[in-house]
Structure 1
Amino acid sequence: MLSTQLKTYTSSFINKVLNREGGGFAKRIRHRNSEFWGTPEGKTIKAIPMDAQDPLTKWQDIKYWQRKLSNKHNSIEFAKKYGCLVPEIYWQGSDVSTIYTQNLPDKFFIKPTIGAGSKLVFLMDGTFNLMDQQHYTLDAIVAKLGEAVRNDSRLEFIVQEFLRTEEGNYKIPDDYKIYLFNGEIACIQLINRLSPHKGFTTCYDENWKQIKEINTYYAKGAYQPPPACLPEMLEQAKRLSKVYEIFVRIDFYATDKGAVFGEFTPTPFMGKSFTPAGEQMLLAYWDKYCPGMI
């Protein structure tokens, strides 16, 4: 009895430590974050605009060039360069007053080009933002975006299409988060999102066999069948990862158009909330397929 209680306590303690500080994988992610963004040049690199027509040598002309892809405009251009489907862009810029010149549809999606955590994100169905469950007029949205730009001159916003599900429905899209190491897939984390920070998650291997959850940030969900576009999603993810080379999580959406690229995430969850088994698996892939890499 005492032995069982001790094992339970030890397991609980380890999980609490991993949630708060993380293990070896988290240390690598924190080191990467420091190397990527801990220098004065780090913030300016995000703001360097790139184009799908730019040669790869231009993309890779700086140390840790992958930092350019943390700009969501650049990530879309890079995905286009390698043949991925991307959302239709209605408007992009920092002069948010010009949004009024666009004949926006009733449903659209707004996101900043830099930043994480679903801040300043509007997934609009008419005047209703599905992300924070609040109503906004276009005037109110533009006012919020304008204030953000005044506080950070590097900031731009993208207004893009509201992607439909494979069934043609409008809802907060499910995220297919693929953990990749130089073209090798470690796992696929499916997140059924209810809001920016709430939802359910399940994890699968490359053959869509369900595996234990690698991260506890979201509540555990139930098995779901693979999307119809899974083969093209994985093929595109591998193609992008081979060029990106170092570890990255690449996010996709399953839509009625097929697999649509979402974004690159070089420091997922800042390394926190990964389970011991998740840490072990990701470290093993890192050491095997990206040895010695940042």
Structure 2
Amino acid sequence: MADRKLRWEFLGRPTPFPFKILDKLGQKAFAKEHGADVPATLAVFDAAEIAADKSALRSHLARCSSDFVLKPVHGYQNKQAFAVRGGAHDLLRNKSFDVNAAADVIAADDEFSSYMVEELLADERGDAAPSRLPVDFKFWCFGPTIAHVTIMVSRERRGEGYTVAVADCDESFTPQPTWCALPTSAESGLVELVPLPLKPLCWDHMVATARRLGAAVGAFARIDIYATPRGAVFGEFQLLFDLVDWNDRADAAIRTMWRGRDGAG
């Protein structure tokens, strides 16, 4: 894993896939090319445009739906991201969305040069609380083989930190011991283990999508997929990891299943 990260991130060596590792637009295009449904892209713009005229962000958002995600094109870990429901509530911060404050964040950004707006997905059953993010199913894949599924049932802001409710299963939706590391610092995010949610009606579609994308990407990857009213929808690939991303049980399984230089043979 360390060798792969060194080659890809620092040495710029070729990867098994055609997109840049953190490029959300490239990931979506790749997933769509391989038969996956993806969230609609509503706008793309440079941070420099907002720095020059902060009102430009309001103009971009006026042409989008009221349920949207605003984030850097090459972002990670929800940095500088906003998930907005009804044009008014920022789900990531659990407070009212302030377009002027968002413009200030983007204008001052010295890390990400471009931003995108995409649709905020709805949960399949339509019964999720509107103040919560859609449930995120993370498929750990070695090529077409699904080793584990981590389900981010909810993510709630608590003071200066946040709490993530997590459940784990296999591709048959049978409960499994968690692969999550369990931090104890609210700043890094507290993890609560919870029972499995209801099995998605489109579970077979989600599994088939994960297998197909895992085979196509050609490397060990964690693939985010959402259960929506229109079926399985791709979220993103995670291809760079640190050891803090999983616990000892996961580490042992990953070492056992790893094949070749990049994990998928």
TM-score, length basis structure 1: 0.74
1:225 matched to which residue of 2? 198
CA distance in 2, matches of 1:198, 1:145: 26
1:276 matched to which residue of 2? 248
Cα deviation digits, residues 75-102 of structure 1 (max 9, x gap): 1111111111111111012134265154
In angstroms, what is the RMSD of aligned CA positions? 2.1
1:258 to partner: Cα distance: 1.0
Aligned pair 1:79/2:31, yes or no? Answer: yes
Residues 139, 292 of structure 1: CA spacing in aligned structure 2 closer, same or farther, 3 A cutoff? closer
1:12-91 equivalence runs, <5 A: 28=1, 30-39=2-11, 42=12, 63-66=14-17, 68-91=20-43
1:228-243 equivalence runs, <5 A: 228-243=201-216
CA distance in 2, matches of 1:164, 1:239: 23
CA distance in 1, matches of 2:57, 2:250: 45
Residues 123, 234 of structure 1: CA spacing in aligned structure 2 closer, same or farther, 3 A cutoff? same
1:119 to 62, 79, 91: 79
| Aligned residues of 1:128 and 1:135 also touching (Cα < 8 A) | yes
The structure whose Rg is larger is 1
The 3-state SS of whatever aligns with 1:187 is strand
Matched to 1:212, the amino acid is P
Aligned pair 1:147/2:108, yes or no? Answer: yes
1:160 matched to which residue of 2? 118
Which stretch of structure 1 is more off in the superposition, 212-221 or 185-194? 212-221
CA distance in 2, matches of 1:228, 1:113: 31
TM-score, length basis structure 2: 0.82
| Aligned residues of 2:16 and 2:219 also touching (Cα < 8 A) | no
CA distance in 2, matches of 1:74, 1:88: 13
1:227 to partner: Cα distance: 0.8
Cα deviation digits, residues 214-271 of structure 1 (max 9, x gap): 1124221112232111111111111111121110111011111111100000124x12
1:267 matched to which residue of 2? 240
1:204 to partner: Cα distance: 0.9
The 3-state SS of whatever aligns with 2:107 is helix
CA distance in 1, matches of 2:262, 2:226: 28
Give the number of the structure whose residues are more often helix, by fraction.
1
Unpaired runs of at least 5, structure 1: 1-27, 43-61
1:211 to partner: Cα distance: 1.0
CA distance in 2, matches of 1:183, 1:105: 35
Identity among equivalent positions (%) equals 22
CA distance in 2, matches of 1:122, 1:273: 23
Give the number of the structure whose residues are more often strand, by fraction.
2
2:91 to 130, 144, 154: 130
Matched to 1:105, the amino acid is S
CA distance in 2, matches of 1:215, 1:230: 22
Unpaired runs of at least 5, structure 2: 51-55, 183-190
| Aligned residues of 1:91 and 1:99 also touching (Cα < 8 A) | no
CA distance in 1, matches of 2:247, 2:225: 23
1:210 to partner: Cα distance: 0.8
The 3-state SS of whatever aligns with 1:233 is helix
Aligned pair 1:194/2:194, yes or no? Answer: no
| Aligned residues of 1:109 and 1:123 also touching (Cα < 8 A) | yes
| Aligned residues of 2:140 and 2:222 also touching (Cα < 8 A) | yes
- Runs of 4+ in structure 1 deviating by more than 4 angstroms, as ranges, are none
| Aligned residues of 1:251 and 1:264 also touching (Cα < 8 A) | yes
Matched to 2:14, the amino acid is K
What is the number of equivalent residue pairs in this alignment? Answer: 238
| Aligned residues of 1:182 and 1:244 also touching (Cα < 8 A) | yes
Which stretch of structure 1 is more off in the superposition, 172-181 or 96-105? 96-105
Aligned pair 1:214/2:214, yes or no? Answer: no
Residues 200, 98 of structure 1: CA spacing in aligned structure 2 closer, same or farther, 3 A cutoff? closer
